[in-house]
A and B are shown apart, each in its own frame.
Chain A
Amino acid sequence: MVTREHIAKALEHVFEDFGDEGGPETFAEALRHWTEDGCCGHLVAKAITRAVETLSGGRDLAWYYDPWVSEDADAEPYLIAFVLVDVRTKECLTLDAVNPTPHAVFPVETMDDAIAAVGHFLSLLGVAVEEQISQGGDVG
């Protein structure tokens, strides 16, 4: 069972791989930049995808992510759209077949938000996740 602590550690650990290019050195620092300056959203999104890959046991996954700052006063401001595809089957795991849209959008402003996003994707991949994590995040 994947816990909050596992996800938090994975987010920081995977960030070490690409945090040495003069930018933020930790996931928490990237989050701070994202929510204060509106930059580093791609690093935050990429860290989330890498954490999912790590905690899912190295599943072959393909992603599209698009961070943006919403100007809608009624919406959460810091949003990231993710498309997740299983490379082997080409199945789009984030597909909402009713609308239909291929992406899921998450507010990602805090570590809890990021953990919820990772938990959501792990659940989609059939990985057992602490219940309170897997219920969070997706705003459709």
Chain B
Amino acid sequence: MITREQIKKTLDEIYDAEYGDGETPLRLADGIDFWLQNGEYPFDVIETIVDAVYELSGKPRNALGWYVEPLRDEFSYTGEIAFVLVDAESGRCLTMHRFDRKDVEASTSIALPVTTEEEAIDAVAHFLRLLGIPVEERASESASQ
């Protein structure tokens, strides 16, 4: 089972290796804070989450297809990111889900809040579970949906 501590460590290592200056360690939480304060497109946050899923799942780069969009309201980013994840081998959309209400159409995507480090860990944990990999539950509450 993959622990939340492993996910946190992986996220921070990837973020620091990709965006750090080699001197002061950078954490993903720094990138999230920067995104929320400056409102620029969060390439770094998205890439780090996706890279962590590859690293922790052991999947090769050509095994998964992603479409990712940080959601906006009229004025700014909401802090939620929409993800579509497809298993490239089977062609199945892993993020597709139906809603309980029959009058609501099925969705191809899952929108996850990524405003804190814990929520970023939740996001990685969510995708690992979709890939059939067991992940430690968050202590205080179940992973956000």
Contact = CB atoms under 8 A, between A and B. Distances in A.
Interface of A: 60, 62-64, 66, 81, 83, 85, 87, 89-92, 95-103
Contact of A85 (B62, B64, B69, B96): B96
Nearest to A101: B65
Given A83-B67, A102-B67, A97 B91 contact: yes
Contacts of B38: none
A92 B65 contact: yes
A103 B106 contact: no
25 contacts: A62-B105, A64-B67, A64-B84, A66-B67, A66-B69, A83-B67, A83-B108, A83-B109, A85-B106, A90-B93, A90-B96, A91-B91, A91-B92, A91-B93, A92-B86, A92-B92, A92-B93, A95-B91, A97-B65, A100-B63, A100-B86, A101-B65, A101-B66, A101-B67, A103-B67
Given A62-B106, A95-B91, A97-B91, 19 more contacts: A62-B93, A62-B107, A62-B108, A63-B108, A81-B67, A83-B93, A85-B108, A90-B92, A91-B93, A92-B86, A95-B86, A97-B89, A100-B65, A100-B88, A101-B67, A102-B86, A102-B93, A103-B67, A103-B84
B9 interface: no
A110 to B, nearest CB: 25
A87 B108 CA distance: 9
Contacts of B88: 95, 97, 100
A99 B108 contact: no
Contacts of B64: 100
Interface in B8-43: none
Interface of B: 62-67, 69, 82, 84-86, 88-89, 91-93, 96, 98, 105-109
Nearest to B107: A62
Nearest to B83: A64
Contacts of A97: 65, 88-89, 91
Given A62-B96, A63-B108, A85-B108, A95 B65 contact: yes
Contacts of A89: 92
Nearest to B64: A100
Nearest to B82: A64
B96 A99 contact: no
Nearest to B87: A92
Contacts of A60: 106
A66 B108 CA distance: 12
A92 B96 CA distance: 9
Contacts of A103: 67, 84
B120 to A, nearest CB: 21
